[in-house]
Structure 1
Amino acid sequence: MKRREVLKGLLAGATLSAGLLPLAGAATPAAKASATGTPIEVYKSPLCGCCDGWVAHLREHGFEVKVHDVEDTGVHRARLGMPERFGSCHTGVVGGYAIEGHVPAAEIRKLLAGKPKAVGLAVPGMPVGSPGMEQGSRVDPYSVLLVRADGGASVFARYPASAVAR
């Protein structure tokens, strides 16, 4: 073995043991989230900052988000079977479910794991403290609703005022 090859091997070993380089085949947390990310399509208003905040929240929680800026989210909401009364400035679709409004990523994961018969989830209004609607430490109480095909809904999750919606 040549002296240069020995030195390269020693340097690589020292660098790995110091944690300065990832092991071959090891992925960073961002790469893992990207590689295993659940795809979700989001139809949103092009001028809405809270929509961008919700998209960022989804990406932070491992979703692979494809964004469509549209003038009218109602068209997509109707196509997905989400009643207009639950309407928001953004509508998502994941795993065959409609996601309306500022639904936390944890509830979307729970929906996908449980696979209930439903149109999807909705967070009516724009509650302060929900993902994309952060305003400092203020968190207003809100509910995530499970919306059925008949247009009815039941509470899927509650977020009290003291909870942090992350």
Structure 2
Amino acid sequence: MMRIPVIGALVLAAWAVLGAQRVEAEPPAMQVYKSATCGCCRKWVEHLRSRGYTVTVSDVQDLRPVKHELGVPSGASSCHTAFVGGYFIEGHVPQEDISRLLAEHPDIAGLAVPGMPIGSPGMEGANPQAYSVFAVHKDGRITIFAEHRP
């Protein structure tokens, strides 16, 4: 007669253990370097924070030393630079692509969205543009990591 409560308790215990394994880990903390006067950079940071990222922001006078230290090629440059999980993030890279980068752990230096394409996170506006997120490889090659269409 005690079998049903014991079996029920075992099922609940198994469900609790297996359910706990499916909980996603929080993304690692991100450091962002930007100009103090850049409004779109603040919007990009809010895009990340609203999706669970912990972001520390440093306003700097000159981003060139930061970009050089992290290995951001000049042709991939944008208005802000971030560092997370051992990768640089240059420009208005969407959170989904950063999360994919951190989940897949490719052997690259970082991701970049050169320029400031309308429609990218932080650059919302009328007439959004298609844009690409580029993977910057450690050997200097640049390939497409993701493409976004309005």
Q: Which category describes the TM-score, using the shorter chain as reference length?
A: 0.7 to 0.9
Matching residue's letter, 1:99: I
CA contact (8 A) 1:40 1:64 kept: yes
Equivalenced residues, count: 126
CA contact (8 A) 1:38 1:62 kept: no
CA contact (8 A) 2:93 2:121 kept: yes
Deviations 1:115-143 (A, max 9, x none): 0011100001100000000114x320000
Aligned equivalents of 2:28 and 2:139: distance in 1?
27
Residues 47-86 of structure 1: matches in 2 within 5 Å?
A: 47-86=37-76
Aligned equivalents of 1:58 and 1:103: distance in 2?
10
CA contact (8 A) 2:79 2:115 kept: no
2:148 corresponding residue in structure 1:
159
Aligned equivalents of 1:54 and 1:113: distance in 2?
21
| Structure 1 unpaired stretches of 5+ | 1-34
Aligned equivalents of 1:37 and 1:83: distance in 2?
25
1:149 has 2:138 as partner: yes
1:128 corresponding residue in structure 2:
118
Q: How far is 1:37 from its partner?
A: 4.7
RMSD: 1.3
1:94 corresponding residue in structure 2:
84
Look up the SS of the partner of 1:54 in the other structure. helix
- The runs of at least 4 aligned residues of structure 1 exceeding 2 Å deviation read 35-38
Provide TM-score, normalisation by structure 1.
0.73
Aligned equivalents of 1:73 and 1:80: distance in 2?
11
CA contact (8 A) 1:121 1:147 kept: yes
Aligned equivalents of 2:63 and 2:78: distance in 1?
8
Aligned equivalents of 1:114 and 1:36: distance in 2?
15
Q: How far is 1:99 from its partner?
A: 0.2
Matching residue's letter, 1:152: R
CA contact (8 A) 1:44 1:90 kept: yes
**Rg (Cα) greater in structure:** 1
Look up the SS of the partner of 2:108 in the other structure. coil
Aligned equivalents of 1:37 and 1:149: distance in 2?
23
| Structure 2 unpaired stretches of 5+ | 1-24
Change (3 A) 1:102 1:62: same
Matching residue's letter, 2:62: D
CA contact (8 A) 1:81 1:119 kept: yes
Matching residue's letter, 1:132: G
